[in-house]
Amino acid sequence: MYSDKVIDHFTNPRNVGEIENADGVGEKVSSSCGDRMKVFLKVEDGVIQDIKFQTYGCGAAIASSSMMSELVIGKTLQEALDLTNDQVADALGGLPAPKLHCSNLAADALHDAIKNFQATTA
């Protein structure tokens, strides 16, 4: 039921972990299934230098987290804020319909981390 890309990102998730003294930390909990994602950012000159994540959830949630992290590393905060949940799902080659909500965690958690970073630096 999952694409090869989903399986790849689920089996070998990129950027799992935590950044000590992260510049921004954010998270998102899915209201429909309780999945939870936490994002840690290292930001320099408005660019995401490093990103790590921790995810509690199913295969789709973990793969979405991993894909999101790959999509935004090296991107500006504005580019990262423009990333949508649909773009994450598309980059994974799509997700089965009942699993689409699982991918919604990734961009939301990222945006939360960016907003927290901006709030502390403002």
Partner 1 sequence: MKRIYMDNNATTAVRPEVMEAMLPFYKEHFGNPSSVHWAGRETGAALEAAREKVANLINCTPAEIVFTSCGSEGDNLAIKGVADVLRERGNHIITTAVEHPAVLSTCEYLSKQGFEVTYLPVDRYGMLDVAALEAAITEKTILISVMWANNETGTLFPIEQIGAVARKHKICFHTDAVQAIGRVPVDVQAAQVDLLAISGHKIGAPKGVGALYVRKGTRLTPLIHGGHQERNRRAGTHNLPGIVGLGVACELAASDLAGTAQRLRKLRDRLEQGLLAIPESQINGHPTERLPNTLNISFNYIEGEAVLLFMDMQGIAASSGSACMSDSFGQSHVIEAMGVDPMMANSAIRFGLGYDNTDADVDQVLEILPAIVKKLRDMSPFYHERDVTKATA
Residue type, 59: G
58 is catalytic: no
Which of 39, 102, 107, 109 is catalytic? The answer is: 102
Minimum distance from residue 108 beta carbon to partner 1 (Å): 15
Minimum distance from residue 18 beta carbon to partner 1 (Å): 7
Within the chain, residue ranges assigned H as helices are 4-11, 59-72, 77-82, 85-91, 100-121
Tokens of 22: 């992260």
Residue (of 73, 51, 53) closest to 63 by Cα position: 53
Which of 7, 33, 47, 81 is catalytic? The answer is: 33
Nearer to partner 1, 70 or 79 (CB): 70
102 is catalytic: yes
Active site (catalytic) residues: 33, 102
